[in-house]
Structure formats: C-alpha cells, structure tokens
Amino acid sequence: MDRSQSAERRDSAIAPLAETRDWALFLDIDGTLVELVDDPSAAAIDASTRELLDRLDRHLGGATAIVSGRTIASIDSLFWPTKRRAAGLYGLEVRSQPAEPAPAAVEPAAIAGLATRWNVEFGCYPGILIERKGPVLSVNTGHDDTLLQLVTRAAERALASLPGQYRIVAGSAGIELLPLEAHKGDAIRNFMAMAPFALRTPIFIGDGEPDEHAFFVVNRMGGISIRVGPGGPTHAHFQLDDVAAVKAWLSDPAFPNLETLETSLDPSDRRLA
C-alpha cells in the first residue's frame, strides 16, 4: 500500500471525528509506555513520562486511565507517589477515582496450587518467570519459542483442572491464564459510563493480543484504537511504531493530532468483528 492510499484511508477514518473536542485517554503500560522486559518488576516509568501523563490528565479534565494486565498495586509502584485511575488485571481490579484505595483481587486456591506446581516443574528453566497476580497466573518465557511452547502445553493441560472458566492468552514472550470475564474492553466500557469519561470519545493505545478486545470495543464506541509495533491481524485502526513514537504522539502540542497517525493494516488484514 503506497503513502497516498494510506493517507486516504487515514483521512477517511478520522473525518467523522474532526469536530470532536472531548476525549478520554486509556493507556496500556508494558510495550506502550515502557519497553517490554523479561522481568516486569524491572520496568520503570521515567520522570518525563510521569510529567507527560500528569499534563494530559489535567488537559483532559481527569479523563485518563491506565488499563493493564498488572495489578493496581504494581501500577501504583510504577507511578508512585501519584495514584491514577486504573483498571488492573484486565479489569478485575478497578479504581475509578485516584483517592480510592487500591482493590486487590483474591488468588483462588486452584491458581495458588497450580503456581506452586509450576514453580517446581519449571524451576530448572532459568528463562521462565512465574508471576502470581491474584486470579491471573502469568508465565514469562522471554523470547524463547521452545519455552513458550512448553508452558503453553502445560497451560492447556491445566485448563481442565481450574474451577470456573479460564482462557489462555499467548504473547510473544509468554502466556497468561485469565478468567473469561477479564477483558480490557469491558473495563474501558465501564469507565466510559462514569464521570469524567462519560460523553467523551475514547482513545486506547496498547501493544499486544490482550489489547485486541479493547481495540474492538473502542472502535464500536466510535473512538481511536492504536496498536504499538508490528504484528499480525488486529482490530486497531492505527499504528505507532514503538514506545518512543507513543510518547512523541502524546507529547504533540496538538494532541490528539489525528493527522499524524498511520493506519495499521490493509483492510483485508483486519480482524472480523
């Protein structure tokens, strides 16, 4: 697809939003605001990014929120001492106002038992990191495809033993076992029903498979969905190349400058609703 076709598709996508004045901004963290690292606890938000988000929060009248697979406690540690509106664990934990205490989702006994077994089973693999996040169990394999296949097979076997309904979400650097009701898109939808988000147009920026539901929901709400980095088919309508490009776009004095966004994919590669 040449540049003229890309620009034409971009202009077509943003034309209905040209008169929009009120926006709500939702942001993933890992791979969006910070680079992906093998150990999520090693990630850090630099001072300039914190200042940027503070400025955007003021500019948007508080209509900004973090929507992440991290726990809210982990989100708070990254942004300390600032408390932000946030949905943690894909929406299983929600803080709608910064002054509210951070809720903590409980780890079911079955997940605790599985985590203990996996610590034994995978303890001999230095490239595997198991992260217990309440009802969510995350296994990071770095970018080792052999380890990724190993833990994916283990997760598939484990599904039958888990009470309730769980699903596996696989990424390029690991897998997560999530309750079926854990979806970032539902968290965004719930935020959009309350002040100060209500009656605004949502923007969501994320980078991976767990963000696809949010892209889909934001599109259905007439908003702007932006995927970070290359990848396969996606619901996102636009793309930013990397974390640096995200920060540059958010820093634009004309934010949200829709004219600078590139469409993410040829329409034939878009996921079907």
pLDDT tens for each residue of 39-84: 888 899 999 999 999 999 999 999 999 999 999 999 999 999 999 9
Residue 271: predicted pLDDT = 59
pLDDT digit string (tens) for 179-192? Answer: 999 999 999 999 99
Q: Is 1 exposed, middle or buried (0-12, 13-18, 19+ CB in 10 A)?
A: exposed
What the chain holds in terms of domains, given with CATH numbers, is 3-102+183-269 (3.40.50.1000), 109-179 (3.30.70.1020)
Residue 101: predicted pLDDT = 86
First to last CA, the chain: 23
pLDDT digit string (tens) for 241-272? Answer: 999 999 999 999 989 988 888 876 554 455 54
pTM: 0.88
Residues tagged active-site? 28
Residue 16: predicted pLDDT = 46
Mean pLDDT of 159-175: 85
- Given a cut of 60, whether residue 163 has pLDDT beyond it is yes
Q: Kindly indicate the confidence band of residue 18, based on its pLDDT and cuts at 50, 70 and 90.
A: very low
CB atoms within 10 A of CB 162: 18
